[in-house]
Amino acid sequence: MDTIDTIKEQIGNNPVLIYMKGAPNAPQCGFSARAVQALMACGEKFAYVDILQNPDIRTELPKYANWPTFPQLWIDGELVGGSDIIAELHESGELATMIKAVAKA
């Protein structure tokens, strides 16, 4: 399986998925920390991929997603965005609504 197939499988198999630097309990950059705090505040399970441990994904995902930076949040197979967008959605309450909709599905 090539890297793009792996990415497609990860996105397809996880209703809420964040590609980040580090792990949710040990983020390795401020943007990933902010994004994962917003996700955890929603109270639903989510999957993550540590791009620091997966250099192929770190290289290929920005091309696949047409989004150059990390973290990247995917909900129900769609790219939501990065740290700033995640923070805005969290502050408005939309993030929890989006996540709860796919968590219950």
Residues belonging to the binding site for [2Fe-2S] cluster are 29
Residue numbers in the known binding site for glutathione are 21, 58, 70, 83-84
Q: CA–CA separation, 91 vs 105, rounded Å?
A: 24
Q: Which residues pair with 48 in a beta bridge?
A: 18
Beta-strand runs (E) in the chain: 16-20, 22-23, 26-27, 47-50, 72-75, 78-81
